[in-house]
A and B are shown apart, each in its own frame.
Chain A
Amino acid sequence: MRVGVLALQGDFALHATALAKCGVEAVEVRKPSELDDVEGLIIPGGESTTLLKLMDAWNFTSAIETFHGAGKPIFGTCAGLIILAREVESPKQFSLGLIDVSVERNAYGRQRESFEASGVASLDAGPIPLEMVFIRAPRIRRVGPSVQVLAEHRGEPVMARQGRVLVATFHPELTDNTTVHRYFCDLVGRAWVAA
């Protein structure tokens, strides 16, 4: 089983390291054709405006929609969440709409307001402690009825899932805790077996 990490820009190398810790082979994806060889995809943290421009130059939009349509799981952190969301605010911008949430960009403020917090993920196996690093992070302002909230910070959703799309406003890849990546790898593994 191989999991792709969109490597156009951002902290893709840290996601690859986290996948390796989970015993999963990571593949850097810079062109849409490289999606054919992977069973899941991570869209990393980075700058969403830059990522969208680089995606656009290579027609990644339709390729990722096809990937999702084929039932393959996708995980987005921070900028990755912004790209996967149904709606994006401040400013309004294009997004893939693969998970029914609305997000506000840079919603806690600039880097001076970035912070760390501890939290709890409610996963299949029960509650698991999380280390959460929020960097110029977005906030999830609306959650659709078919979206499951997996973790909260101060009563707001910070990690959520709809079917085979998983998102987080924080960066599990910046910590040594592989809980979230293991959860995603399980999703990918189950989807792969089902296919």
Chain B
Amino acid sequence: MSAANGSGANGNGANGSGVNGSGPHGGRESGVPARQGDRGEVIDVRRGMFGARNGGDTSGYGGLVRTVRMPGASARPYGGWFDEVADELEGALEEQGIVPENAIERTVVDRGELTFHIVREHLPVVARTLRDDPALRFELCTGVSGVHYPQDKGRELHAVYHLRSITHNRLIRLEVSAPDADPHVPSIVDVYPTNDWHERETYDFFGLVFDGHPALTRIIMPDDWQGFPQRKDYPLGGIPVEYKGAQIPAPDQRRSYS
């Protein structure tokens, strides 16, 4: 029990420091070997376990620190047709007078999927290029999916697009981020009209405003709804339920593993 309230000492050890030093504890404890998975984009640092915040920590779990890292940028070659698509896209952007590095923040290859992180101002141009260039020809956009990373400061809201090329039988992902303080992303409805409802849905659930959308209104929730339900700071709701004599808390009040 002596380690019960040892704040962070165990955590740093267990966490290690990244070889690229991108973690919040980077630079300290250089003697600890880098663990696999220490590379990547840090989106959050979680402390403790079970979500317990108040009361004395008698378990020692309160000292746990877990850094959440999403897969980071990949280096060339990406493999397979990924390089071809990346080359074509960069070439086509250069032809239009756009420096590819300014439009494409980074390229991630993970689990056999190719993701381009696009700077939001350039999204419509990139989407149009991907659709119209014969060598790219991503005709089908499967809509947009929002993701909320409240701890990733300045990049809280993500809009994720999956584009399918029926001609070349390929699938890529575009990811755009916007800060919570300025939740604006350009609409690509004029490139992919199918995104009309999808962008309304993402607006409805995340509050992401798609500039240029013809009629950005709520689509699933009632028009007078307050708040954006899929955001992480929006509670799930629910009431405690009695089951066999015990009170079972609402799902978002139950113990969870951080």
To the question of whether A and B form a pair in one complex, the answer is no
Chain A residues near B (Cβ < 8 Å): none
Which of B's residues lie within 8 Å of A, judged by CB? none
